[in-house]
Amino acid sequence: MESKFNKFITENKWYVVFYLVWAFLHFVFFMSGNRYDDKGDFWPFANDGLDDYNLFELLVYLILPVIIFIIYKLVGKDIKKAIDDINKAIDDKN
C-alpha cells in the first residue's frame, strides 16, 4: 500500500517540482540579499535590487504558493464542475 506522502507526490508532481524550484530560487535570493536588515522596502518593489530581500520576503514568497495550492485543492473541483455545467447549458441551447 502506498503511503499518503507518496500518493501526494505522485498526484501533484507538477506542484512539487514547481515549489522546489521556487524555494531554491528564493533561498538564493535570501542568501544574496541583506538577510536581517529590515529597511521597510518590499522586494521586488524596492530600488536596491536583491539587497532588500530579507527574512520577511522569504517567508511571504515561500508560504504564498502553499496557500494558493491549498485553496486550489479545496475549491478546484467545484470550479471545474461549475464551468462544465455552464458549458453543458450553452451546448444544450445550441
Cell numbers 512539487: residue = 16
**pTM score > 0.75 for this model?**
no
- How far is residue 92's CA from residue 94's CA, in Å, rounded to a whole number? 5
Residue ranges with strand state E in the chain: none
What residue segments make up the domains of the chain, in order of their start? Answer: 4-93
- How far is residue 4's CA from residue 11's CA, in Å, rounded to a whole number? 10
Task: Spell out the per-residue pLDDT of the chain, length 94, in tens.
Answer: 578 888 888 888 888 899 999 999 999 988 887 766 666 677 777 677 777 788 888 899 999 999 988 888 888 777 888 888 888 888 877 6
Q: How many CB atoms lie within 10 A of CB 41?
A: 15
- How far is residue 84's CA from residue 87's CA, in Å, rounded to a whole number? 5
